[in-house]
Amino acid sequence: MAPSISGKVKKKISKAEKKETASSLAEKIKKKALLERQKSEKSKSKDQNNQDQDASNSQSKNSVETVDVEESQESKINSFADLKLIPELLEACQGMKFDKPTPIQAEAIPYGLEGRDIIGLAQTGSGKTAAFSIPILQALWHAQTPYFACVLAPTRELAYQIRETFDALGSGMGLRCVTIVGGMDMMDQARDLMRKPHVIVATPGRLMDHLEHTKGFSLRALKFLVMDEADRLLDMEFGPVLDKIFKIIPRERTTYLFSATMTSKIEKLQRASLTNPVRVAVSNKYSTVDTLIQTLMVVPEGYKNTYLIYLLNEFVGKSIIIFTRTCAHAQRTALLSRLLGFSAIPLHGQLTQSQRLGALNKFKAGDRNILVATDVAARGLDIPSVDVVINYDIPTDSKAYIHRVGRTARAGRSGKSISLVTQYDLELILRIEDVIDMKLPKEVPDRDIIVSLHETVDKATAEAIRETKEFQENRSNKGRKKGRRDDADREER
């Protein structure tokens, strides 16, 4: 046991020394905490990826009984007419300018029409939503019963988007579809549910609220359950509420799991209680699309915002999504961009639901050409015009990287992604390169421009930090109820 400092010696330590000791100690503690955090983040993502990897390595044999349908098989389906769809659906596809089925649609829809459970795996932007909507609508045409299908999505914005696809495809068949998500009025939703909708698109938390509290509403008649972004929904933070939902919906039903990145963990898939599912995989486990150009920029400490503004200058006028790890980063980065004359808007979980929908609509309409978002916008959002995705913060989960960059280069269009990499991110980037099975080429900015920008950006950053603090104080002063978060955005703070 190290001898403790004697009383006399202690007295001699001057106040200044104590302060000095304290501040260097604080510095040490901060550094240690940062290292701990990075270590735990790395080990968490390493565990996550290793588990996934282990399970996928051994998954084919002892996984849920499935039939792999690889794209390599020459698909017999070359047109929507080949699918023998009802005329109303054929006309809807034509109206949406769907000339021919995408690979996932050509492979999955026939199994759906046969009544099979499906695990659908296809790249981002490849038409998975229509792949699961069409068989449901074809079956609904012959059944015409309320509460026929329920689609679960991990975020509110994605739920709205899926509802739009159902409305468009079901436009000729008197479809009644409702969206049930957090952050919106419960009474309005209860009224919508009493109108006996055919299809319910929901985030799990709010759906469970209604199943527990809305009189007369039940899913006893349910025939189809879809989990879009299924691997995300089967993550632990949705565990308890999903288990409750699985307990009260009929086991006699058709179940679809779709995603661009699928979990192979057997127990997770079994929780979704699939019956002899067919696994339709038209891409390998984790792949990004070929029309996407992906690069990275190594950023020196303290220069991240300058590099970001350098890129915004490079891509002036383009439609850009910037992804950050936390709400505060999203708010601050949007404010910084606006202070420097860019048309940016934030989207994150600390905004009200109407602010979130407003931000997304402004971006979709082109009123703002830069959306600064947390991972609440990483999955599923389909905004055809997005030209560039910038990873301001590198995601700790490699799957989040695939979904983020998949917001561009959709439906065969080209797109670009750039990731800003600091010395703390090297391990994460190596893991991402390993998962997507490609080395991300480095881009080097024009040094002179960086130097000329740095001071201005630094000043604007200080102002953006001040305004972000103000935003967060106002928000907590309003005492916004800490409702349950539907959004699976575990890294939002």
Ligand X SMILES: Nc1ncnc2c1ncn2[C@@H]1O[C@H](COP(=O)(O)OP(=O)(O)OP(=O)(O)O)[C@@H](O)[C@H]1O
Judged by the rule CB under 6 A, the positions of this chain that interact with ligand X are: 98, 101-102, 105, 122, 124-130, 260, 380, 382, 384, 406, 410-411
By C-beta, is 98 or 111 nearer to ligand X? 98
The nearest distance, CB 407 to ligand X, in angstroms, is 7
The nearest distance, CB 421 to ligand X, in angstroms, is 24
By C-beta, is 66 or 129 nearer to ligand X? 129
Structure tokens at 241: 């509420």
Structure tokens at 208: 């469970």
By C-beta, is 309 or 415 nearer to ligand X? 415
By C-beta, is 41 or 164 nearer to ligand X? 164
By C-beta, is 125 or 349 nearer to ligand X? 125
Three-state secondary-structure class, residue 276 = coil
Amino acid at the residue 351: L
By C-beta, is 98 or 160 nearer to ligand X? 98
Tell me how crowded residue 176 is: count the other CB atoms within 10 A of its CB. 15
By C-beta, is 110 or 127 nearer to ligand X? 127
By C-beta, is 128 or 329 nearer to ligand X? 128
Name 402's Cβ contacts closer than 8 Å, sequence gap at least 6. 124, 260, 261, 286, 287, 288, 435, 436
Structure tokens at 312: 């915004």
| DSSP result, 302-368 | T-HHHHHHHHHHHTTTS-EEEE-SSHHHHHHHHHHHHHTT--EEEE-TTS-HHHHHHHHHHHHHTS-
Structure tokens at 420: 């800003």
User: Which residue, chain included where needed, has tokens 């949406």?
Assistant: 96
Cα atoms in the Cβ-side hemisphere of radius 13 Å centred on 434: 13
Nearest to 373 by CA among 417, 303, 338, 324: 324
Three-state secondary-structure class, residue 235 = coil
Structure tokens at 76: 């017999």
The nearest distance, CB 402 to ligand X, in angstroms, is 9
> DSSP secondary-structure letter at 442?
B
By C-beta, is 170 or 406 nearer to ligand X? 406
The CA distances from residue 475 to 146, 472, 481, in Å, are 40, 5, 10
The nearest distance, CB 386 to ligand X, in angstroms, is 11
Contact 120/132 with Cβ under 8 angstroms?
yes
By C-beta, is 104 or 457 nearer to ligand X? 104
Whole-angstrom distance, CA of residue 322 vs CA of residue 368? 13
By C-beta, is 130 or 335 nearer to ligand X? 130
Describe the crossing of helices 353-365 and 156-169 by its angle, rounded to 10 degrees. 60
Bridge-based pairing state of the strands 254-259 and 177-180: unpaired
The nearest distance, CB 305 to ligand X, in angstroms, is 28
| DSSP result, 106-161 | HHHHHHHHHT--EEEE--TTS-HHHHHHHHHHHHHHHH--SS-EEEE-SSHHHHHH
Interior CA angle at 435 toward 438 and 39, to 5°?
Answer: 120
